[in-house]
Amino acid sequence: MADANETGFPAATNVVVADRSGVHVQTKKVETNTNVYPGRLVIQGTNDDDIVVCGAAGEALGWAGYEDTAKKYRPATISTIYTANDQIAVVNGPGIIVRASLKSGQTVDKGSRLMAGANGELSGGTVGTHEIVAIAEQSVASTSAGTVIMVRSLI
């Protein structure tokens, strides 16, 4: 498949996974809903079937999905937070293109390596120092939390 930007690939709307080749989907329960928005990084919660938002430099399990979540639990919009006990899709797969969230104050170029930042968002990372979870598919300067960025997942 051609590179996302080579084909004029805009930020995905109403989907978290823009390129589904190799996507793996699991259904997990939102243990606490703090910052669990579609496209945010998540980690295991208290139990194997629980998820919570991933913290800075955390070991991410995957991305909070949207389009693969049952309509009963799916928020009204992709920008709406999930609620506690929702059964949501958690997606992962190396190489999938994901609509993620870049931490406020970050400026990244296409090809930048990204790590987990606070609140399930992404921030710039250094190979060999940080656990790199994604590669930027576009250049973005984030001036507020929740800035959308298209990335190639490495998890």
Q: For 67-81, write each residue's pLDDT tens digit.
A: 999 999 999 999 999
Q: How far out from the chain centre does Cα 78 lie?
A: 12
Distance CA 99, CA 81 (A): 15
Q: For 108-155, write each residue's pLDDT tens digit.
A: 999 999 999 999 999 999 999 999 999 999 999 999 988 999 999 999
What value does the mean pLDDT take over residues 69-96?
97
Identify the CA nearest to 65 among candidates 18, 104, 21: 18
Global pTM value: 0.91
Please give the C-alpha separations between residue 39 and each of 2, 6, 17, 50, 64, in angstroms, as whole numbers: 22, 22, 8, 17, 5
At residue 95, does pLDDT exceed 90? yes
Distance CA 137, CA 145 (A): 19
